[in-house]
Amino acid sequence: MSALPLIIDTDTASDDAVALLLAAAGGHARVHAVTTVAGNVPLDLATRNALISLEMAGAADVPVHPGCERPMLRSPSHAQHVHGEDGMGDLGLPAPRSSPGTRHAVEVLLSEAGRFPGRFTLVTLGPLTNLAAALLQDRDLLTRYRHVYCMAGAADARGNVSATAEFNVWADPEAARVVLSAATPGKMTWIGWDASRQDAVMTTGDQLHLERLGTPMATFAHRVNRTVAVWAREVTGLDGYDLPDPLAMAVALRPDLVVEREVARVDIAVGEEARGQMLVDRRRGATAEPNVTLVRRVDTAGFKKMLFDTCARTVQPVRTEEPA
Ligand code: RIB
Ligand code: CA
């Protein structure tokens, strides 16, 4: 199977970091570029964490281009209380050896798809601010990607950042609306927090298995998620911490892992009461055509096999990660 050419847009916190390992070291893809966006952490930390994660995956040659440092209209909201102040479990990780690229993320998202129409799969792992800004310049941009997979939303309106909203959409709901206004089900797939909390929960046994693999990537993936593990125990009530971004990445790399999907017409609430909630219209003959494919359930065992197989690999990381 040939490696899938990928571009990844990320707000790099601890689960994004694991998604980057899957993409860069899993053997399923060739990462062409990474673009960063403010979200879980401020932009400079998202960029730093992306560089660190790619070095850990032996992919220090992949360029990382910083993008938007705030949502389209709203004040920035971060999730450092979930992922740690640095977004990576506050391990005191050494600074990356590589440096960010000098091009803006939005220009990269536009130019690479324009130069090579239909070649790249785009995976977004954070707020959709960069993609929305690119769409405002080129409304047909999505047609120039092979497919766009977004870790976004909660199709069952059971939220993680509010009663009804998922963080990436809640952080910049206007950007999500811009993206959905240009989307079609054949070009855009959303993997929501509903799928993650059902099919991507790392139980205590899973966490022990990951830790006992003992490779640099497995140790890195286990330790950077130590803060989110506490959050899961104390707040979400799940049977462990979930991995939304790695699940979205796994679906992009192996769409055969999808167990249940649907197409629907989706818009996003922007009023304060329901900020970021997905408005999912499943009515047949609804006034507006479906605009997105929603992944509802994923093969948990297949996802975790990909995760463990990737982390069990030993690559030549540029960095030697000395845990604090
Ligand atoms: O709501 C899940 C999203 O926000 C993921 O991208 C994850 O990084 C979390 O912080
Ligand atoms: Ca993310």
Q: Is residue 319 part of a domain?
A: no
Contact at 8 Å (CB) between 91 and 135? no
In three-state secondary structure terms, 44 is helix
Exposure pattern of 155-183 as b/e (b: 16+ CB <10 Å)?
Answer: bbbebbbbebbbbbbbbbbbbbbbbbebb
* pLDDT of 324: 44
Which of 149, 168, 275 for mutating ligand 1's site (highest number of atoms within 8 Å of CB)? 168
d(CA 180, CA 23): 25
Atom of ligand 1 nearest to the CA of 161: 1
Q: Is residue 227 part of a domain?
A: yes
What distance in angstroms lies between residue 214's CA and the mean position of ligand 1's atoms? 26
Q: Is residue 318 part of a domain?
A: no
* pLDDT of 252: 98
pLDDT along the chain (324 residues), means of 10: 92 98 97 98 98 97 98 94 92 96 97 98 99 98 98 97 97 98 98 98 97 98 94 86 98 98 97 97 84 98 98 79 48
**CATH number of the domain where residue 302 is located:** 3.90.245.10
Q: Is the CB of 160 under 6 A from ligand 1?
A: yes
d(CA 143, CA 306): 29
Q: Is the CB of 245 under 6 A from ligand 1?
A: yes
d(CA 36, CA 249): 16
Structure tokens at 251: 């679906």
Contact at 8 Å (CB) between 196 and 300? no
Q: Is residue 324 part of a domain?
A: no
Q: Is the CB of 112 under 6 A from ligand 1?
A: no
pTM as predicted: 0.96
d(CA 92, CA 28): 30
* pLDDT of 151: 99
What is the residue with the minimal CA distance to atom 2 of ligand 1? 167
* pLDDT of 317: 63
Q: How does DSSP assign 63-129, residue by residue? A: -EEE--SS-SSSPP---HHHH-TTSSTT--PPPPSS---SS-HHHHHHHHHHHSTTT-EEEE-S-SH
Give me the number of domains the chain comprises. 1
Q: Is residue 320 part of a domain?
A: no
Strand partners for 65: 35
The range of the structural domain enclosing residue 19 comes to 4-311
* pLDDT of 1: 62
Structure tokens at 216: 């640099």
Q: Is residue 317 part of a domain?
A: no
Q: Is residue 244 part of a domain?
A: yes
* Structural Rg of the chain based on CA atoms: 18
Q: Is residue 252 part of a domain?
A: yes
Strand partners for 147: 121
Beta strands at 278-281 and 258-268: parallel, antiparallel or unpaired: antiparallel
d(CA 204, CA 216): 20
